[in-house]
Amino acid sequence: MSNDISLGWPAPAKLNLFLHVNHRREDGYHELQTLFQFVEYGDVLDFKITENSTLTLHSHINDVVADTDNLILRAAKLLKETSGTQKGAEIWLNKCLPMGGGIGGGSSDAATCLVALNALWKTQLSREELAQIGLKLGADVPVFVKGLSAFAEGVGEEFTPVSPQEYWYLILTPDVHVSTASIFQDPDLPRNTPKLDLNTLMSSKWQNDCQELVVKRYPQVAKALDWLIEYAPSRMTGTGACVFGEFELQQQALDALAKLPNSMAGFVTKGTNISPLELRLAQL
């Protein structure tokens, strides 16, 4: 298959349907409880497997290619080192997701790279081994590798598969980059939401403990949320900047999108408890 290009590997966005910050540990990491769900929208990666061991990344976004510390290349290198394969790859990234939006763009790209190259290089690492590699790249990468909606706790490394309702979402993407590190270091972040068991959490009203702080610090996020909440129950995902509204029907979400002011950007997509990456993998 050295001359073939393997097309259309999805790197879907995720939403944190809730995000609770339980406390800050001695080592500076935070104990969290969160619920991840995928959506049917994201970046797309194409791969060409080569017999020489070089790794090359192409993208229409120059910043991505110029960044030698890019998560996609780091993922490919770690998979090479772990598996001992001598093969290489050319990788094309079609970037649709905003960077620093809290919808997992970079983490999802890295996970898709691991899952796709493991299959295309025939390196035969287990999903668990790929998740372990992913954890070195970022706390969110393992959930994308595993490919199922999940409740996560600890510092985000303990997963329980769950199946929340698959709503239609209108996701707004404010044009601002929110640094996750700065939010978690901010003294005003609430860090004392009590830990709850999964059954209680699934039946409680969902919230994002980072939202109030981000809204205060970033007027663009506040403005997007103020607009969206008029149309549907709405929250921020992750540490922002993206916010999402939940709709029962696709048409309701599209009707709201049609009213979006020109100064804002967004898209409509469907929640899914099985990652689109799983469906692509099954096609092999």
- pLDDT above 50: residue 81: yes
Question: Lowest mean pLDDT: which of 104-108, 122-126, 245-249, 255-259?
Answer: 104-108
Query: Do both 147 and 198 map to the same domain?
Result: no
Query: Do both 41 and 156 map to the same domain?
Result: yes
- pLDDT above 50: residue 1: no
Parent domain of 224 = 168-272
pLDDT tens sequence across 181-239: 999 999 999 999 999 999 999 999 999 999 999 999 999 999 999 999 999 999 999 99
Q: For the domain that residue 219 is a member of, what is the CATH number?
A: 3.30.70.890
Query: Do both 124 and 174 map to the same domain?
Result: no
Residue 210 · residue 21 · CB < 8 Å: yes
Report pLDDT for 261: 97
CA distance 236 to 241: 7
For the segment 68-73, the average pLDDT, to the nearest whole number, is: 84
Strand, coil or helix: 150: strand
pLDDT tens sequence across 143-168: 999 999 999 998 656 899 999 999 99
Query: Do both 205 and 243 map to the same domain?
Result: yes
Higher pLDDT, 245 or 99: 245
Q: Is residue 266 part of a domain?
A: yes
Query: Do both 95 and 184 map to the same domain?
Result: no
For the segment 67-95, the average pLDDT, to the nearest whole number, is: 93
pTM value? 0.93
Q: Is residue 113 part of a domain?
A: yes
Query: Which of 162, 191, 219 is a domain's end point?
Result: 162
Query: Do both 134 and 35 map to the same domain?
Result: yes
Active site residues: 14, 140
Q: For the domain that residue 11 is a member of, what is the CATH number?
A: 3.30.230.10
Q: Which residue's structure tokens are 């007027």? A: 219
Q: Which residue's structure tokens are 């929250």? A: 235
Q: Is residue 83 part of a domain?
A: yes
Report pLDDT for 61: 81
Report pLDDT for 166: 98
Query: Do both 181 and 62 map to the same domain?
Result: no
CB-based contacts of 250, cutoff 8 Å, min separation 6? 168, 268, 270
- Across the strands, what pairs with 22? none
Query: Do both 65 and 193 map to the same domain?
Result: no
